[in-house]
Structure 1
Amino acid sequence: MSRNIVNTVAWEKALTQKVIDGVNGVVTLDFNRFRYFDIPITKKILANNSKYANRDIVANKLFEAIMENQDYSDPTKYDLFITARLHFRFCDSNGLLPLTKDPALKEIEFYKSRQRRGEIIDSTLTQRISGLKNLLKIMEVEYQKWMPNFSFSGKSQSKPTAAYSDNDLRKLLALLHEIFKQLHQQFISSPQFHIDAGHKKQTMVINLADKNLSVRAGITKLMCCATFLLSFYTWCNSSILFQLKRPEKLRDQISPWYKMSAFKRRAFKNISVELGDNQQLEIPKYARDFFTDLIDISTLIDPSSDALLFQYINSGKPKPITGHILNDFIRNWLSKNFPLVDDSGQKLIPVIRRFRVTGSYLTLARGREIEAALLLDNTPEVIKRSYSSGNPLENNLMNRDTCLILEQTVRDGNGVEAAKKVVKDTYKIEVLTYESYLNSSTPPIKSANGSYCKGNNAQKNRKFTRRANSHGLIGDGVKLACAELKQCWECSSQVLVESVTDIWCILSYRENLEESHYLHIDKNHHSDNFAEIIESIDKKLKKINPKVLRQAQRKLDEDGRHPLWPDAASEL
């Protein structure tokens, strides 16, 4: 095929089509490019700076095979286009005829040699060969007659995504929350001003880490922070986050509860993403406050009823957040202005997949394999393969501690606990890494008085939980804290959660204490026992969101006391 033919044919707009790629970006697939050698970009074709290859029939057939197939999703069409571009460029650079036997086999050998040299990993090799087979199939090339069966090593060279360490997570979330908070306050104070400003005008300011930065495209940066934060709170992957429609609060719930749906492409099913207290600890108060702010921001950007949750402003109009936008935010702004370093000394940046893996890792630490599978919407086998490797640095520290303890146990023969103490004293380790990891991944335990305990008295916890279970006062799987309820309100391990059900339990407990005066000798006797506790409860209830407190009080008035505190005869 001669390369001396100049571009004398007209560019056809009918051979172009826009699709959404795998990171939610809108891209234009121009099949005119296959009519020219080396698949030049559209700009070169329009500038007559390309060589015509006289393969219009092939380009048209390729367009029909990919774009007119209703079974293919946009990301699949995009992947096939990229595969075709790689194949045609390989053929053009080697003087070969595309979509025939010898060029296809030579391209595969080219990829295999690159894999042997370490330039690509085995999973990439498998992906390239699989993509080439699909391309030949849709172009009706009977490759099965001459394509050999290749034996691959699979994905032995792929590295599982590492979870964030507890310390890394704190640094990242603190930074993202602070940026979100500052930009949110400025945006809601004058939303239309920032919407009309465009992406080049500096309309916002960040005061953080001894820096005073003027910010352009503040709405974009605000929504990028929000995307990463919600990925941490929900464990959703990016494709799901990009599809989320702005939710409405469900009106039949006492507590704030939001539900969103999205289509999971590879599993070909719809999944639900939920955010609310639901009598659980997974969504703390600051997360609910963040989500409320996010809904307000999203509504100001696009008030339409069917709007996407994550959008930014481009030329005065709302556009969906994409993976390209997130990468640009990290590379060109966040990493330059607020560089972070992880525990191993490497650059620390927010990655949606790492947030997802971290959530799975923390759930698996509590022995909840099925729960992790449900929350990630994957099978337990996928969880084990892709979401259970943890953080490499923390894993190494745990292995170090284990080796030191085993060595000390063998040397002294005094048992594991004694060896732990020696290792702690010798290496000045306040808490061994594995113990610290378990503590950080274990949620606070619910106390019978409605509060929670972040302390660790396993024996008392188990005893009190068994007792409550035997009386049918709690459901299966619920764990209660110790029974030292009088000391609880002055204990530093106590945690209060702003959920209506928990505050209802606290109010029931308080009312029970007040009503127990008839069990005492006189008023002074009752005051000596419970006055300080009631006063402490009242002080802490003043810090609770007034709306939640009113709803809990209404529940107490209408439904009566919590089952744990039915009357004054309950054991205190």
Structure 2
Amino acid sequence: MSNFHNLYNWQESLYFKLNNTKNCDLNRLLHLHCPSTKALKANKNHAFAQRETLIIRFQEYFNRTLSEGGSQAQLLNLFYSAQIYLKWVDKYQEEAFTKTSVEQYCKHLVIRARRKEIKNTSFSKTRAHLVSLFQALELPLQWFHDVPSLPKNDAEPFEAYSRTDLKQLLPLLRALFKQTSEQFLTEPEKYMRAHKNTSTMSFHYKNHIYQLRCAVSKMIAAATYLLAFYTYANSSVLFSLTRPQRITVPIQEIWYTMPAFKRRAFKIVQLEIGAHDMYIPKYAMSFFDRLLEVSIAIDSSDDSLLLQTCHSNQISPIDQPMLSAFSRKWLSKNFKLMDERNRDLRPVISRFRKTGSQLSIYHQGNIAQGILLDSAPNVLNKHYATGNKLNNQGMTQDVALIRQEQAISKSSAKSAQKALNIDILTVEEALRINIPLNSSANGGRCNNPFGEKSKSFSHKAKRHLLNEGERLACADLIKCFGCPHQVIVQSVEDIWCLLSFKECIEESLYMHLDAYHYKSNFKEIVDFIENNILPKISKQIMKQVEIQFDEIGRHPLWQEAGSVRPLTKIPV
């Protein structure tokens, strides 16, 4: 054992810098009240606590764990647990690392939990970390036998965001990342060498200009939250993502795949993002391409992390404290976002994941939810079975009113809903953010498929045993063109279908009696597509569609000219 008198001075061997840029300075634990590292290095007089034997043992545990590749997050938890425990011990003049001090410390926490100052779950977590600390120091675990365990009955899972919440958060985060990334990519070295307290960028939002300090960290924090929204990944996965491999699959689609190791589940998950015909916002890919440019500019080395920040030329991975500082300090201070219950609204990765869970289970079912979140059924039931509280209360109120009206009027649920003028149920309103535009077979989409024009279809369908209150979506493929509700989405899949439809119409010329017959049926449609739609399609999309035509041919719906026969005004 080394001489302890050297420990009165700050020792480099007791200072551990972890990969997540967090520091564990065991020198602090040697002195009463655990003074800061800065104070210790200043050679100020700090009372020695006479617990050097156990701190040296703690140092050996750190060295052993790091050499074996153990969890650095666990080391950080043990250090924080020891620091808080020793501060309490020194404050109340108890002897550290004894059975009596452990019981008194835990009694103090139990009293706080009963006063509702802390949650039972917080006490249980603190107790578990303290047990792990004593185990690492090779102290008797029997000391905890008389320490009570509180029921974990006050845990509250994260709420999903409501649609109103997302309308406030997402435009702000997108604007912040877009503007900061544009400035950063013009001169990356300038922003990377800047001190974190130096204002280097500006952010324009809703007629206000904000000067940004530690701008690179704010840029990456915004990107992290956006990536959480687009992928529904949890924080541990996002923090461990390496810059992805780029994979080109058939028909020139670009996909990125990123492996991430989940320590507690002891498995590797694959996070994938790519351009495809699923209903994911089209700007997600442009965001991700920009994020890759930023990531490469910060650290171009192989297998580097995707999400890293930099100041004073010091590169470090993004972590939870950085995100908390961004959302709790800067975002809350400058924008003061409030939710529908007048509470502070902040971006939280777990809430984005919960939102994705609710959207997937509502639109695709339990199996899709499990696949998307890659979690076991018991985890889904525990953490992802509830939605947004306000939406849940609204839905309960809807159900109660409808059931009451049913009992009074002896009518169906749809009739009762109509009688109460409930146009859309709360749950449908909350989750329709992920309901895509209704796709049409002609390659276009409709933003109001159940509007006035659907009534004629519903009226005709009554002869086919359509239930009362049910309606059919508008399905007039010819009248879509020029309709104010038609929407053309610039995606390869949609434009491929649209051009296949147009080509099929043109090929049907031979089926008509003459040119006049053909023009009477389809001339207006072809002219509208050529004059009003195709000139507005990006050249990049058109080039990819041409490749798709060469490799696959026409869309399966429009393989033969006879496919358009039912659409003619004058029979063919």
If the length of structure 1 is used for normalisation, what is the TM-score? 0.86
Separation (CA, whole Å) in 2 of partners of 1:204 and 1:8? 45
Separation (CA, whole Å) in 1 of partners of 2:363 and 2:428? 13
Separation (CA, whole Å) in 1 of partners of 2:209 and 2:379? 45
Separation (CA, whole Å) in 2 of partners of 1:222 and 1:15? 34
Stretch deviating more after TM superposition (523-532 or 93-102): 93-102
Change (3 A) 1:228 1:7: same
Which of residues 523, 538, 547 in structure 1 aligns to 2:515? 523
Aligned residues of 2:232 and 2:353 also touching (Cα < 8 A)? yes
- Aligned partner of 2:58 in structure 1 is 62
Q: For 1:234-253, what aligned pairs fall within 5 Å after superposition?
A: 234-253=231-250
Separation (CA, whole Å) in 2 of partners of 1:321 and 1:272? 20
Aligned residues of 2:194 and 2:312 also touching (Cα < 8 A)? no
Stretch deviating more after TM superposition (435-444 or 9-18): 435-444
1:411 equivalent to 2:404? Answer no
Change (3 A) 1:102 1:14: same
1:440 equivalent to 2:433? Answer yes
SS for the counterpart of 2:501 is helix
How many residue pairs get aligned? The number is 541
Q: How much has 1:453 moved relative to structure 2?
A: 4.5
SS for the counterpart of 2:561 is coil
Aligned residues of 2:444 and 2:494 also touching (Cα < 8 A)? yes
1:434-460 CA-partner distances (Å, limit 9, x unpaired) = 342354343345433344445556999
Q: How much has 1:495 moved relative to structure 2?
A: 4.3
After superposition, the CA RMSD in angstroms is 3.0
- Aligned partner of 1:475 in structure 2 is none
- Aligned partner of 1:474 in structure 2 is none
Stretch deviating more after TM superposition (118-127 or 96-105): 96-105
Change (3 A) 1:42 1:567: same
- Aligned partner of 2:253 in structure 1 is 255
SS for the counterpart of 1:256 is strand
Stretch deviating more after TM superposition (169-178 or 537-546): 537-546
1:454-474 CA-partner distances (Å, limit 9, x unpaired) = 55569999xx9xxxxxxxxxx
Q: How much has 1:317 moved relative to structure 2?
A: 4.0
Aligned residues of 2:103 and 2:147 also touching (Cα < 8 A)? no
Q: For 1:488-567, what aligned pairs fall within 5 Å after superposition?
A: 488-538=480-530, 539-567=532-560
1:74 equivalent to 2:72? Answer yes
Q: How much has 1:561 moved relative to structure 2?
A: 1.9
Q: For 1:140-289, what aligned pairs fall within 5 Å after superposition?
A: 140-144=138-142, 147-148=145-146, 150-154=148-152, 156-253=153-250, 254-282=252-280, 284-289=281-286
SS for the counterpart of 2:303 is coil
- Aligned partner of 1:38 in structure 2 is 33
- Aligned partner of 1:125 in structure 2 is 123
1:352-395 CA-partner distances (Å, limit 9, x unpaired) = 21111111111111242222222222113212221232222222
Structure 2 unmatched ranges of 5 or more: 462-471, 567-572
Which of residues 313, 316, 328 in structure 1 aligns to 2:313? 316
Aligned residues of 1:203 and 1:214 also touching (Cα < 8 A)? yes
- Aligned partner of 2:465 in structure 1 is none
Which of residues 320, 324, 328 in structure 2 aligns to 1:327? 324
1:33-74 CA-partner distances (Å, limit 9, x unpaired) = 332233333333333332112222211112222441226300
1:329-368 CA-partner distances (Å, limit 9, x unpaired) = 2333322332322222222222221111111111111242
Q: How much has 1:109 moved relative to structure 2?
A: 2.4
Change (3 A) 1:216 1:41: closer
Q: How much has 1:189 moved relative to structure 2?
A: 3.6
Residue identity matched to 1:419: A
Identity percentage of aligned residues: 36
Stretch deviating more after TM superposition (400-409 or 54-63): 400-409
Separation (CA, whole Å) in 2 of partners of 1:94 and 1:204? 48
Aligned residues of 1:6 and 1:52 also touching (Cα < 8 A)? no
SS for the counterpart of 1:298 is helix
SS for the counterpart of 1:174 is helix
Separation (CA, whole Å) in 2 of partners of 1:291 and 1:93? 50
Change (3 A) 1:149 1:536: farther
Residue identity matched to 2:238: L
Residue identity matched to 1:72: G
Aligned residues of 2:239 and 2:319 also touching (Cα < 8 A)? yes
- Aligned partner of 2:468 in structure 1 is none
- Aligned partner of 2:287 in structure 1 is 290
SS for the counterpart of 1:307 is coil
Residue identity matched to 1:121: K
Separation (CA, whole Å) in 1 of partners of 2:309 and 2:196? 10
Residue identity matched to 1:114: R
Aligned residues of 2:165 and 2:345 also touching (Cα < 8 A)? yes
- Aligned partner of 1:98 in structure 2 is 96
Aligned residues of 1:6 and 1:50 also touching (Cα < 8 A)? no
Change (3 A) 1:550 1:358: same
Q: For 1:341-490, what aligned pairs fall within 5 Å after superposition?
A: 341-424=338-421, 430-437=423-430, 439-455=432-448, 483-490=475-482
Q: How much has 1:8 moved relative to structure 2?
A: 7.9
- Aligned partner of 2:15 in structure 1 is 16
Separation (CA, whole Å) in 1 of partners of 2:62 and 2:428? 54
Separation (CA, whole Å) in 1 of partners of 2:275 and 2:378? 29
Stretch deviating more after TM superposition (538-547 or 487-496): 487-496
Change (3 A) 1:161 1:56: same
Stretch deviating more after TM superposition (514-523 or 92-101): 92-101
Structure 1 unmatched ranges of 5 or more: 465-479
Stretch deviating more after TM superposition (314-323 or 390-399): 314-323
Change (3 A) 1:394 1:140: same
Separation (CA, whole Å) in 2 of partners of 1:214 and 1:118? 40
Residue identity matched to 1:40: P
Separation (CA, whole Å) in 2 of partners of 1:98 and 1:325? 32
Aligned residues of 1:36 and 1:52 also touching (Cα < 8 A)? yes
Residue identity matched to 1:556: F
Stretch deviating more after TM superposition (487-496 or 350-359): 487-496
1:222-275 CA-partner distances (Å, limit 9, x unpaired) = 222212111111112222222222224223451232112222222222221111
Stretch deviating more after TM superposition (94-103 or 164-173): 94-103
1:390-429 CA-partner distances (Å, limit 9, x unpaired) = 22222222222222222222233333223212322xxxx6
Stretch deviating more after TM superposition (96-105 or 263-272): 96-105
- Aligned partner of 1:473 in structure 2 is none
Aligned residues of 1:246 and 1:309 also touching (Cα < 8 A)? yes
Change (3 A) 1:52 1:391: same
Change (3 A) 1:439 1:491: farther
Q: How much has 1:192 moved relative to structure 2?
A: 4.0
SS for the counterpart of 1:569 is helix
Change (3 A) 1:307 1:489: farther
SS for the counterpart of 1:343 is coil
Q: How much has 1:483 moved relative to structure 2?
A: 4.8
Change (3 A) 1:350 1:145: closer
Aligned residues of 1:39 and 1:89 also touching (Cα < 8 A)? yes
Change (3 A) 1:500 1:97: same
